[in-house]
Amino acid sequence: MAGVVTLLLLLLIRGSLAGNVSVEDFGSGDRVLLVTQGYPWCFGPYQNQMYLLSLHLHERGLDVLWMAHTPTVILPVGEYRSYGDLKRFISLVPPPPEYELDHLTYVGSKEQGSNPDILTVSHLNSLASRYAAKGVVVLRDTSKISPDVEFAVPAVGWIPLHSHGRVRNASHDYWVLRAFHGYAALSPSSLRDFEEGMRGDEIGRTVASEHVPHVIDGEELRKRAARGRKRLEEEDETCGATEEERRKKEREKIVRSFLQSARKDVFVVHAKGGNYDDMDRKGWNPAIQAYARLHKRVQTTDGPGVHLYIHSVPSTWLASDGNGGSSPPASVLPTGLNLRRRLYLSDLPPDSYTFDETLHTHDVVAFLQEMSHLCLLPSRAEGFGMNILECQALGTPVLTNNHTATGDYTRYGRALPVKQYFTPASFDGEIAVPDVEALGEALWDSYLHHVARLLEGEDGPIATAQHQTARDAAEWIQSDFSSQAVGDKILSLLRRAVSSFQARSAYFQSRASLPRQSIPQMYHVEDAAHVPFRDRPSEIEWIVLSPPGVQFDEGGLRYFAWAYLKEDTAVLIIPLPGVSQEEFSRGVQNGSTVLYPVMIRMHFFTSLHGQTTNRDSLALLALRYSEGLFERKMLPAGIVLNHEEGCAA
């Protein structure tokens, strides 16, 4: 048995290392593959940020490839140079005329398996090989990435962490970020979490890391706001206008109606953000509750009124981009909160708020942020906080939570302590519980400042101090968040990732020749009814979910744990003597039981562990979810030396 295992091990290691090639620094003409959700001009901050990065990398002489990881719209294999090339295969909203796109080559991918929502590293490796990409930059959430194998080229993850303390050995975030050669942390707190989490990990310490925010161009935002103001002050005339212009005018009616009805001295609170999930990540519930407290309090005074302008981003906007720009079918329901119901339950008078779900132009969006007196964003989970930075760049103070990125990036306004944290079933980490009472008090304080500023005038001390703080924040944003500053950091990190790639390759090469007795134990066996959450040694790459009473050939398991580490698989099935494969398959198919021990890669196991701790349920989930995503392997007989009768059932 040992001779068969050794031969299989050597064959697997030689095959996996044969693909490693020498990688040098990036130079002019080298291809870099950018991977994110959707296409550059489609709705979404990730697409826009990758587009800005693509312009910078092109200016630095690199040949930029673009892969849209859009599960519902899969582009056939090939290279595409224009929107005209793309629209022959996919229905997509056309790009605005101001977008510079000639520098991009869009690449198609093969069918992405039965779960195209998940981006596997093996799939990225095949794309890098097919299109001769020398490096990869990925901007996606960790929940969408599966590090099933090692990257075959230097790879940088420009990836948000939406809550604190998530980079731990028992979390999926840990294994995703560890797979990259460079980590571009979107906030200082994310960088601290990453570096703390990887401190004791021999592989994790090879990852080059740096704080790299998203791009915020304050000067461009101010130009947009000015254009938006001018546009909204024009006559609402559609006679002789193009169809596109008529659509814009129609969408802007809600803004014009507000501007015409609002008094000049009204205190405007602006709340803008996504509304994609039922966890209320952007804090719509506490925002509306806190505003309701403010409104009730203001009604007892004879001061100016207040108005809440909600600009919500529903999930259906995303579906619209993939439907050629047309509204999605009636069968496509929004996946976020029903904010109209929440407003109704707050007992706010309808004239005290505006609820706007319209897809506005960038100019109108910037105007809404600039014309407000306060931007309210009590996010419960935030990876970057684009809205609070844009508002500050436009001279509008913010009110948010001192939680991850929003706490890091508040210079003009207030970031309040959160009340507590909790872990929802559908989220791998803690999310904040904003303090509604404290938010209400902070809104009241901002309102009183607004009233005092009106009484003093723009030459008074309150206005003077606020103008200075606003200028300081705007200068900081223009300096640290510029396209050049961000692009140079990503390019620098790509170059540092080359060294990390080489160091990691050398690490695996050195361990490939280890004698049998020196191969470390890279697995833990879990045979209790429930698998606990715990931080494990950094060399543990597999979890064996086993019926109790099973005795394994430890040497054989060590060999296969190492051998399959670089293979395109995350699930190994270990047969039990006396239990046929037919019995095993029937148990999995009807969901009654898992009769064989199942060996699962840690990156895959941690993505399932949040759903349940039940050992048999975890094994069943791994077997079912891996189908079509990974190649499952059945280990040869002989790994199990003995097991107690009846314990396998």
Q: Do residues 622 and 598 lie in contact, with contact meaning Cβ atoms separated by under 8 Å?
A: yes
Residues 353 and 368 in one domain: yes
Residues 187 and 276 in one domain: no
Residue 116: pLDDT band (50, 70, 90) is: confident
Say how far apart CA 521 and CA 540 lie, in whole Å. 7
210: β partners: 184
Q: Which residues contact 612 (CB under 8 A, 6 or more apart)?
A: 618, 621
Q: What is the mean pLDDT of the chain?
A: 88
pLDDT per position as a tens digit, 336-363: 899 999 999 999 999 999 999 998 989 9
Question: Maximum CA pair distance of the chain?
Answer: 89
Residue 573 sits in which domain range? 516-643
Residue 431: CA count within 13 A, CB half-sphere: 19
Domain membership of residue 187 (yes or no) is yes
pLDDT per position as a tens digit, 81-107: 999 999 998 888 899 888 999 999 999
Say how far apart CA 509 and CA 531 lie, in whole Å. 33
347: left (phi > 0), else alpha (psi -120 to 50), else beta? left
Domain membership of residue 7 (yes or no) is no
Examine the pLDDT at 15 and tell me if it is beyond 80.
no
Quickly tell me which residue has 């509304």 as its tokens. 275
With CA atoms as reference, report the closest residue to 374 among 407, 400, 408, 399: 399
Query: Residue 318: its pLDDT value, please?
Result: 64
In this prediction the pTM is 0.89
pLDDT per position as a tens digit, 52-90: 999 999 999 999 999 999 877 788 999 999 999 999 988
Query: Residue 551: its pLDDT value, please?
Result: 93
3-state percent helix, strand, coil for the chain, nearest multiple of 5: 40, 15, 40
- How distant is the alpha carbon of residue 127 from its chain centre? 21
Residues 270 and 349 in one domain: yes
Q: Domain ends where: 507, 541, 571?
A: 507
Residues 581 and 475 in one domain: no
Domain membership of residue 138 (yes or no) is yes
Please, what is the Cα angle at 139 between 362 and 358, to 5 degrees? 25
pLDDT per position as a tens digit, 390-444: 999 999 999 999 999 999 999 999 999 998 998 887 777 788 999 999 999 999 9
Domain membership of residue 51 (yes or no) is yes
State what percent of residues in the chain have pLDDT above 70: 91
Query: Residue 498: its pLDDT value, please?
Result: 95
Residues 85 and 206 in one domain: yes
Say how far apart CA 357 and CA 365 lie, in whole Å. 12
Query: Residue 11: its pLDDT value, please?
Result: 30
Residues 270 and 367 in one domain: yes
Examine the pLDDT at 2 and tell me if it is beyond 50.
no
Residues 260 and 209 in one domain: no
With CA atoms as reference, report the closest residue to 404 among 187, 140, 172, 171: 187
Say how far apart CA 485 and CA 493 lie, in whole Å. 12
Residues 258 and 171 in one domain: no
Say how far apart CA 251 and CA 232 lie, in whole Å. 11
Domain membership of residue 258 (yes or no) is yes
Say how far apart CA 474 and CA 522 lie, in whole Å. 50
Domain membership of residue 6 (yes or no) is no
Examine the pLDDT at 212 and tell me if it is beyond 90.
yes
Q: Average pLDDT in the 496-519 region?
A: 81
Residue 1: pLDDT band (50, 70, 90) is: very low
Q: Which residues contact 627 (CB under 8 A, 6 or more apart)?
A: 114
Query: By mean pLDDT, which of 231-240, 431-440, 459-468, 531-540 is the weakest?
Result: 231-240
Assigned token pair, 332: 């496509």
Query: Residue 363: its pLDDT value, please?
Result: 95
Residues 205 and 266 in one domain: no
CATH number at residue 250: 3.40.50.2000
Residues 626 and 533 in one domain: yes
Residues 448 and 550 in one domain: no
Alpha helices in 198-355 (DSSP H): 218-233, 243-261, 284-298, 316-321, 339-345
pLDDT per position as a tens digit, 295-327: 999 999 999 999 999 999 887 776 665 555 566
pLDDT per position as a tens digit, 17-32: 333 444 457 888 999 9
pLDDT per position as a tens digit, 169-191: 999 999 999 999 999 999 999 99
Q: Do residues 324 and 47 lie in contact, with contact meaning Cβ atoms separated by under 8 Å?
A: no
68: β partners: 36
571: β partners: 600
Query: Residue 324: its pLDDT value, please?
Result: 52
Strand segments (E) across 459-576:
523-526, 542-545, 550-552, 571-573
Residue 505: pLDDT band (50, 70, 90) is: confident
Q: What are phi and psi of 601, to 5 degrees?
A: -65, 145
Say how far apart CA 343 and CA 466 lie, in whole Å. 31
Domain membership of residue 136 (yes or no) is yes
Domain membership of residue 10 (yes or no) is no
Examine the pLDDT at 12 and tell me if it is beyond 50.
no
Residues 423 and 494 in one domain: no
Q: Which residues contact 89 (CB under 8 A, 6 or more apart)?
A: 75, 76, 108
Q: Average pLDDT in the 463-486 region?
A: 96
pLDDT per position as a tens digit, 549-606: 899 999 889 989 988 887 778 899 999 888 888 888 877 777 777 788 999 999 999 9
The count of domains in the chain is 3
